[in-house]
A and B are shown apart, each in its own frame.
Chain A
Amino acid sequence: MELTGAEITIRCLQEEGAEYVFGYPGGAVLHIYDALFTQDQVKHILVRHEQAAVHAADGYARSTDKVGVALVTSGPGVTNAVTGIATAYMDSIPMVIISGQVPTHAIGEDAFQEVDTVGITRPCVKHNFLVKDVKDIAGTIKKAFYLAKSGRPGPVLVDIPKDISSHKTEFSYPSSVNIRSYNPVQQSDLGQVKLAVQLLLAAKRPMIYAGGGVILADASKQLTELVHLLGFPCTNTLMGLGGYPATDKQFVGMLGMHGTYEANMGMQYCDVLLAIGARFDDRVVGNVEHFNQEKRKIIHVDIDPSSISKRVKVDLPIVGDVANVLDDLLAELRGSKEKPDQQAIAPWWAQIKEWRGKNSLVYKHSDEIIKPQFVIEKLYEVTQGEAFITSDVGQHQMWAAQYYKFDKPRRWINSGGLGTMGFGLPAAMGVQLAHPGAHVACVTGEGSIQMCIQELSTCKQFQLPLKIIMLNNRYLGMVRQWQQFFHGNRYAESYMDALPDFVKLAEAYGHIGIRIEKPSDVEPALKEAFERKQQLVFMDFITDQTENVFPMVQGGKGLSEVILAEDL
């Protein structure tokens, strides 16, 4: 039987096991929406802005190991989606975005709602396609899912002109894909693994630095085993949090710009560094020249060769999937006659302990005014560390990363690479849909939340009982902090004036709103909110206006040139 391109598109999504598609209709995708309407296997979540559709699909993907799916119309639908696509691209999140396009005969004529979607999205997708023949739809969507998920994951966009979605052809879904020009490494070089083990066993001041690749590869179990077997200290990037249990005694905290003192000092002064699925981001190593002043051997495991020796020259590259390489490393270590020598690294641990003694995450408590860090600590306690936490971008994001101790992967959902304000709420929707019944909290600021606040309406429609933890400092706090440090306290446009009454706003959307102004009310409010299992609770915490995030390694500085709270 012949199906229309639109019907084929939906059949493909069914074949891929897509549970949800996050989207927003419009002229160019009307056929596809019509095809959605006549089935109920793939559920459609109607957002209120296309950016949110992509973030929600992204949150869904990050909190599971599945590919997120978004559907948007041509022109403004696509341009609205670009922020979401770029966000996913920077953090290597597997996603398929299906966009409508004007009919093939109108392409290039400045048709109504025409944009060059393939051109606009090219720099921020892993790959994209324009489908020009209905016969190609199934094969293209198959490829899109395969590309999105394999190798270094990323968003893939499929642009389907309106006429193509109405043309008819026989449907058959390909059972396999072969792209001759795309062969991500599966098995890594065992010789390199052996060399790595030798280096690790000879280390006196070892450090394990693990990033988002561990989460993406679902390899936190192997990472934990390896770290335990070696007895080495382990740090995570912002994207890697939860990849190694934060409550474990070998964990030294997050590293980088707002990382702990011990993690950054350990990174700077180690003699053997094992980097796993982490890309030496500028917010992690700061000034590369300063970093290179210390001599150390670097082993770097990454599936993408272009991540290796991009910013920091590496001594021993291992190209491969983190999970496979960790399995190989574990097997090699277990088979090796030599055993990790805890004696040899004891002085290093003593040094780390001393650094830890600085207590770099300490902050001044207050009985009068709510400290933002305190809210996160309480959030951690109340949820017993078991919640899924999404966040927006700013100071609140850093505090969430620092004070919520993630013991499990895929629980910490944030935009690291692009740093997209507005990500938190829609991402939380995707997470909640993927994990019905789980506690899902969005830690946000009064600036960020307003970038996708309209999604409160989506939450109402789909009964998503999110808990919104807004740290309201009446400032674009992260901007203000930089202005305080680097621009002589001139707070240019970083004050959030004319804020709405968020309690009323939440109520207007049909949710519960609470304002919390006293430290003693923080815990009861959180408890009450999490007890409301069926409702979204919007918590407006009025926090200390000028609290800063510490420690801080300024842009361009070295990891050991950190500013601690006590320094000021």
Chain B
Amino acid sequence: MRHIMSLLTENEAGALSRVSGLFSARGYNIESLTVAPTEDPTLSRITIVTSGSDAVIEQIFKQLNKLIEVVAVMDLSEGEHLERELMLVKVRAIGSVREEMKRMTDIFRGCIIDVTDKTYTIELTGTGQKLESFLQAIDRSLILETVRTGASGIGRGDRILKL
């Protein structure tokens, strides 16, 4: 099963490599991993999307908690949560395609953030699934480049991961 985990770690140089090293050393899957500092500059927040049997997920959770620089771990998938991912797509946009691309971008509530006479760069946020759908909805052959951040997640309402 797919799980999305949120971590607070010390904002130290080694923390990220300890987390990613744990996954590779123990053969756990990483679908995506995002990291950035939080409003508290001593803490970083990492979101990891992984998958595995219940036993494997339980081990991942315990092993993450065991890392000295990991301050807190939450398995967001265990309760209600929100997920968002940002994608930038550069497409070839000439002639009639320009109008079509603009329309699709609007439908998916994206925006075009860079325009040249041959290309559009589209910014889109949403769940991974929504981003997938967008890529399927447009003509694949027009895609020049895609960049995705991987999912960030947060618990709903009172589910808060904070020190």
> What residues make up the interface of A, taking CB atoms closer than 8 Å to B?
118-119, 122-123, 126-128, 130, 147, 179-182, 304-306, 309-310, 313
Cβ–Cβ contact A313 & B55, under 8 A? yes
Q: State in angstroms the CA–CA spacing of A170 and B9 once bound together.
A: 30
**B75 CB, min distance to chain A CBs, angstroms:** 14
Smallest beta-carbon distance A2→chain B, Å: 27
In the bound assembly, the distance between CA atoms of A127 and B68 in angstroms comes to: 7
A150 smallest CB distance to B (angstroms) = 11
Interface of B is mostly: helix
Q: B58 in the interface, Cβ–Cβ < 8 Å?
A: yes
Q: Given A119-B17, A122-B18, A180-B163 in contact, is the A309-B70 Cβ separation under 8 Å?
A: no
Contact B17 A306 (CB under 8 A): no
A123 to B69, CA, bound (A): 14
Could you write out 11 A-B pairs with CB less than 8 Å apart? A119-B17, A122-B18, A122-B21, A126-B68, A180-B163, A181-B69, A181-B70, A305-B66, A306-B63, A306-B66, A313-B55
Quick check: B10 and A181 within 8 Å, CB to CB? yes
**Complex Cα gap A304–B63 (Å):** 10
Which residues of the partner chain A approach B9 to less than 8 Å between Cβ atoms?
Answer: 181
* Chain A residues closer than 8 Å to B58, beta-carbon distance: 309
User: B residues near A, CB below 8 A?
Assistant: 9-10, 14, 17-18, 21, 25, 55, 58-59, 62-63, 65-66, 68-72, 163
The residues of B that contact A305 with a CB separation of less than 8 Å are 62, 65-66
Q: Chain A contacts of B25 at CB under 8 A?
A: 123
Residues of A within 8 A of B69 (CB): 181
Chain B residues near A118 (CB, 8 Å)?
14
Q: Is the CB of B17 within 8 A of A122?
A: yes
Q: Taking the nearest CB of chain A, how far is it from the CB of B16, in angstroms?
A: 12
Contact B59 A306 (CB under 8 A): yes
Query: With A119-B17, A122-B18, A306-B59 given, is the CB distance from A179 to B68 under 8 Å?
Result: yes
**Chain A residues near B10 (CB, 8 Å)?**
181
Decide if B55 touches A309 in the complex (CB within 8 Å).
yes
CB distance from A317 to the nearest CB of B (A): 11
Report which of A181, A304, A309, A313 forms a contact with B68, defined as CB distance below 8 A: A181
Query: A122-B21, A123-B25 are contacts. A147–B68 as well, Cβ < 8 Å?
Result: yes
In contact, B71 and A306 (Cβ under 8 angstroms): no
The answer on a CB contact under 8 Å between B70 and A306 is no
CA distance A305 to B58 in the complex (A): 10
Cβ–Cβ < 8 Å partners of A181 in chain B: 9-10, 68-72
Decide: A182 near B68, CB < 8 A? Known: A119-B17, A122-B21. Answer: yes
Give the distance in Å from the alpha carbon of A130 to the alpha carbon of B18 in the complex: 14
State how many angstroms separate the Cβ of A180 from the closest Cβ of chain B: 6
Whether A310 touches B68, Cβ cut-off 8 Å, given contacts A180-B163, A181-B10, is no
Residue on A nearest B63 in the bound complex, by CB: A306
Task: Please give me the residue from chain A that is nearest to B70 by CB atom.
Answer: A181
Cα distance A128–B68 in the bound complex, in angstroms: 9
A123 to B66 CA separation, bound complex (whole angstroms): 13
Q: How far is the CB of A31 from chain B (nearest CB, A)?
A: 24
- Given A119-B17, A123-B25, 18 further pairs, Cβ under 8 A: A118-B14, A122-B18, A122-B21, A126-B68, A127-B68, A128-B14, A147-B68, A180-B71, A181-B10, A181-B70, A181-B72, A182-B68, A305-B66, A306-B59, A306-B65, A306-B66, A309-B58, A310-B59
